[in-house]
Amino acid sequence: MKFMELIDLCEKLEATRKRDLMTSMVADFLKRLSEEEVEPAVSMMLGRPFPKWDPRTLDVSWATISRVIRKLTEASWRDFSEAFRNTGDIGESTKIIFERYRMRRQLTLLEKPLTILEVRKILDAIADASGQGSRERKERLIESLLGKASPLEAKYLVKIMIGEMRMGLHEGLMEIAVSKAFNIPLERIQTASMLTGDIAEVAAIC
């Protein structure tokens, strides 16, 4: 599935605080995912690049990410500071910077939109980069990822990388959504989530 479809859902979730609407939208979305897309999508919606059982981290700071964004957009640190003061949100600030300063690229027939699995693959590579020169490799991978992203996709990619979604979608609501999506009693989902410690893992095996 296209990553943009996940982002469209995130935008709708961010725009509402109605619990029933949120869980229904997420449930409908989960039904459309392939088996291998479920865990990455659920983890990302909860602001995690990887499932809870995975000990890996991206090990990248906001300073690193912002340096890549400034390289891609040629925006100044002052531009970033102003955008953040106006929004109070790092992801939204990134979107504004991309919209305002990013040079328009000519799309070609060979370019393909980001997919959920492609995003996870690049996040895997960022986390796995280690040893001498790993900082530079991580930056190149982040640049590759954000370089393929639209301003709206960049907003949520940054949120996922720093673990700050701010959509109001917590694990309890995700449990309800998983229950609705796969027609499994909520009590069973909650028990499985408690035993595994990760609703994303539970969703993947439903």
Q: What is the pLDDT of residues 145-203, one digit of tens each?
A: 999 999 999 999 999 999 989 889 999 999 999 999 999 999 999 999 999 999 999 99
Give which of 159, 147, 153 is closest to 73, Cα–Cα: 147
State the pTM of this model: 0.93
Q: What is the DSSP string of 115-164?
A: BHHHHHHHHHHHHH--STTHHHHHHHHHHHHHHT--HHHHHHHHHHHHT-
Contact (Cβ atoms closer than 8 angstroms) between residue 5 and residue 40: no
Predicted local distance difference test score (pLDDT) of residue 101: 84
- Helix axis angle, 151-162 relative to 3-14, nearest 10°? 80
Task: Give the CA distances from residue 82 to residues 90, 95, 145, 193, in Å, rounded to whole numbers and listed in that order.
Answer: 11, 13, 24, 41
Predicted local distance difference test score (pLDDT) of residue 166: 85
Q: What share of the chain is helix, strand, coil (3-state, %, to 5)?
A: 70, 0, 30
Whose structure tokens read 């500071």? 81
Whose structure tokens read 């890996």? 56
3-class DSSP state of 2: strand
> Where exactly does CATH 1.10.3260.10 map onto the chain?
62-162
Predicted local distance difference test score (pLDDT) of residue 106: 45
* Stretches in the chain below the pLDDT threshold 70: 103-110
Q: Any idea of the CA torsion for 116, 57, 198, 9, to the nearest 10 degrees?
A: -30
Predicted local distance difference test score (pLDDT) of residue 59: 94
CB burial class (10 A; 0-12, 13-18, 19+) of residue 67? middle
User: Is 62-162 in CATH node 1.10.3260.10?
Assistant: yes
Predicted local distance difference test score (pLDDT) of residue 103: 55
Predicted local distance difference test score (pLDDT) of residue 110: 56
Predicted local distance difference test score (pLDDT) of residue 71: 92
- Helix axis angle, 62-73 relative to 151-162, nearest 10°? 160
CA 197 – CA 187 distance, rounded (Å)? 15
Predicted local distance difference test score (pLDDT) of residue 107: 46
Quick one: how far is CA 60 from the chain centroid?
Answer: 15
Q: Any idea of the CA torsion for 186, 191, 195, 197, to the nearest 10 degrees?
A: 40
